[in-house]
Amino acid sequence: MEDDFDQTLDSNYGSSHDKVIVHLDADCFYAQVEMLKNPELRTLPLGVQQKNLLVTCNYVARQFGVKKCMLVSDAKRLCPSLILVKGEDLYDYRQMSTKMTLLLQKFSPLVEKLGLDENFVDVTQLVAETLKSDFAGSRNVEGHIYGDITSRCDCGCYERLCVGSQIASEMRKQLKEELGVTCCAGVAYNKLLAKLVCSTHKPNQQTTLFPAGVSDLMLNLNNVRSLPGIGHRTSEILQSLGISSIEQLQNINLELLEHALGRTLAERLKKLSVGADDMVVKPTGKPQSIGLEDGFRKISLESEVKDKCEVLLQRLMILLAEDGRIPGAIRVTVRKYDNSSRYSHRESRQCNIPSSLFLPKVGTLSSNAHNKLLTSIMKLFHKIIDISKPFHLTLLGVAFTKFQERNTGKGSITSFLVKDISVQSVMNFQNISLHGVEAMECSSSKNAGKQSGSTLNYADKSGSESEPEPSPKKTRADFWRGSRKRSLTESDKDSPNKHRSSELRLSTGEPINEVDFSKLSDGIQEELMESCMSLPSLTDKLGISDNSTPNTSMSIEDNFQTNASQKLWKRLGSNQGPQDQ
């Protein structure tokens, strides 16, 4: 048994050093966006508020002891001059988040977004090309080094991580120059370590971790809760086994852990505890469908349905314009409420639509095209609902799907994109989980159920991965170093950002103006869930018992998003916002 255990840990699975991963985390992201919108706030203590919570604050405010996820009242007590801005409307944060991800995609197609303000970038390929083309170059580490590096691993990871740190530095520089956003970065040979080491020097700094420092980094974590995937429940189970520190997790017998958590999780946690992580950077892509839903208490007239759909369609055209792709099909979803069984269920139907409707420019519909779409929507509706009988609907949704990707050439970024299904709800802006969407798709046609595997497996793409773009990649490697050298000789004042970025555009040929309609609520949900739950004092103050914390956080989130959606409706000048909550 002991032997088995040792084998699991000793196997190189997830702990080889051949990758270079950069994790970037924007400093107090919402506050930065607010300060960019209103530069006068830069020198003042600023907090971003959602309901009665301070979700983040700038570093001026932190000097007063203000911390994120505090109650607004507590923050005000610590810093009476604290300026508060409302952060419920995520629109601007989402826009900036997308810009950051797009900028990073210029360095590697393998960019995975985590929340709104964090990104993992797998730069292994870029590092390899840089090393190949620049073998005589000096190997300096940019930024901090975590721990001791007197003993160097001889697998070549030292050089790779050095170059990784230089790339990370260039990424941060471009994020600052082109978007005005400061970030922290962590550089390591896997995602776990890159993320963990990223937070060791804040704000606006970067840290590189070499294998020799891994053990220290892991043992210096306060708590097992610092590991990804250990949420409230898992940590409770671990607690019951007497495990709260990383060291305890490292030392616990694997079988015992398996017994409590199941084999998969137990093995994963064991590996994480020693800094091993085999998760790949999964590129965040465009959604497979773009949809809006509106929930309400009751609709039972066809005319009401038509009105609702008309509003949804108008709003949807804005999202479509943002996305830039042309849809090939439209889908209508309803939720029917059955009074006798008090049970409601969803049903969807979809039909193909001609792309000519969206010419000459996607997002601008002629009134004729608008009417045609509305007719299609109502036809689909009639296929689901027999209006000769009474009906009671509690939700209507319209979505575009079957997108044609713009022809960006083989091997371009788009071919790496993961197709995530994302449906945005007008009512509560909730992002429907894959399960939810699956259920929806299943209800319309059993065959569509197989779509659940819509998250592309990285391994499946390895074929196209190993066939690099003929020249752009080389140009990319040359470019980032080129710009770096230039920037060392030019003063920052004269440094022509425009020149730099247009050169990048030319060299990579990648579509950088396309706006990704990315997952709306993930970031904030994670941030809130994580930060609220890691603060027991906060949940106490809110009068939430431990057991209900996850749910309560969710409903807080729902409220934020409802507010956000109401603002959105206002911005659209529509009176037909969400009616009830």
Binding site for Zn ion (CB under 5 A): 17, 153, 155, 157
CA distances from 458 to 110, 281, 402, 464 (A): 10, 8, 22, 10
Nearer to Zn ion, 209 or 272 (CB): 209
Q: Is the distance from CB of 374 to CB of 324 less than 8 angstroms?
A: no
Nearer to Zn ion, 107 or 189 (CB): 189
Nearer to Zn ion, 17 or 315 (CB): 17
Which range touches Mg ion (CB under 5 A), out of 20-28, 251-259, 357-365, 392-400? 20-28
Structure tokens at 133: 């083309």
Nearer to Zn ion, 277 or 438 (CB): 277
Q: Provide, rounded to whole angstroms, the least separation between the CB of residue 203 and Mg ion.
A: 9
Residues 285-324 that bind Mg ion (CB under 5 A): none
End-to-end CA distance of the chain: 55
Among Mg ion, Zn ion, none, residue 25 binds (CB under 5-8 Å by kind): Mg ion
Q: Provide, rounded to whole angstroms, the least separation between the CB of residue 210 and Zn ion.
A: 8
Among Zn ion, Mg ion, none, residue 155 binds (CB under 5-8 Å by kind): Zn ion
Q: Provide, rounded to whole angstroms, the least separation between the CB of residue 531 and Mg ion.
A: 11
Count residues near Mg ion (CB under 5 A).
Answer: 4
Among Mg ion, Zn ion, none, residue 153 binds (CB under 5-8 Å by kind): Zn ion
Among Mg ion, Zn ion, none, residue 117 binds (CB under 5-8 Å by kind): Mg ion
Instruction: State the Cα–Cα distance between residues 225 and 214, nearest whole angstrom.
Output: 18
Residues 29-68 that bind Mg ion (CB under 5 A): 29
β-strand pairing of 118-122 with 206-209: unpaired
Q: Provide, rounded to whole angstroms, the least separation between the CB of residue 562 and Mg ion.
A: 25
Structure tokens at 71: 């109650």
The three-point CA angle 28-34-37 to 5° equals: 140
Owner of token pair 């709003």: 315
Nearer to Mg ion, 55 or 214 (CB): 55
Q: Is the distance from CB of 408 to CB of 513 less than 8 angstroms?
A: no
Nearer to Mg ion, 29 or 337 (CB): 29
Residues 356-415 that bind Mg ion (CB under 5 A): none
Q: Provide, rounded to whole angstroms, the least separation between the CB of residue 29 and Mg ion.
A: 5
Question: Quick count: other Cβ atoms within 10 Å of Cβ 231?
Answer: 13
E-assigned strand segments in 81-155: 83-86, 111-114, 118-122, 144-146
Which range touches Mg ion (CB under 5 A), out of 25-33, 45-53, 153-161, 469-477? 25-33
Q: Is the distance from CB of 163 to CB of 210 less than 8 angstroms?
A: no
For 213, phi and psi rounded to 5 degrees? -95, -5
Q: Provide, rounded to whole angstroms, the least separation between the CB of residue 155 and Zn ion.
A: 3
Among 15, 19, 21, 25, binds Mg ion (CB under 5 A): 25
Q: Provide, rounded to whole angstroms, the least separation between the CB of residue 131 and Zn ion.
A: 14
304 part of the active site = no
Can the peptide bond before residue 203 be classed as cis, meaning omega within 30 degrees of 0? yes
Q: In what order do the strands lie in the sheet with 70-71?
A: 70-71, 53-57, 46-50, 83-86
What DSSP character marks residue 411?
A: T
Q: Provide, rounded to whole angstroms, the least separation between the CB of residue 17 and Zn ion.
A: 3
Q: Residue 498 — left, alpha, or beta (φ > 0 → left; ψ -120 to 50 → alpha)?
A: alpha
Q: Is the distance from CB of 210 to CB of 191 less than 8 angstroms?
A: no
Which range touches Mg ion (CB under 5 A), out of 22-30, 208-216, 328-336, 525-533? 22-30
Q: Report the amino acid identity of residue 258.
A: E
Q: Provide, rounded to whole angstroms, the least separation between the CB of residue 125 and Zn ion.
A: 18
Of these residues, 118, 129, 441, 514, which one is catalytic?
A: 118
Nearer to Zn ion, 128 or 153 (CB): 153
Nearer to Zn ion, 17 or 500 (CB): 17
Among Zn ion, Mg ion, none, residue 17 binds (CB under 5-8 Å by kind): Zn ion
Instruction: State the Cα–Cα distance between residues 455 and 286, nearest whole angstrom.
Output: 11
Residues 90-149 that bind Mg ion (CB under 5 A): 117
For 187, phi and psi rounded to 5 degrees? -125, 125
Nearer to Mg ion, 26 or 217 (CB): 26
Give the DSSP per-residue string, 19-83: --EEEEEETTHHHHHHHHH-GGGGGS-EEEEETTEEEEE-HHHHTTT--TTEEHHHHHHH-TT-E
Among Mg ion, Zn ion, none, residue 481 binds (CB under 5-8 Å by kind): none
Helix (H) or strand (E) holding 291: strand 287-299
Active-site annotation, residues = 118
- Site of interaction with Mg ion (CB under 5 A): 25-26, 29, 117
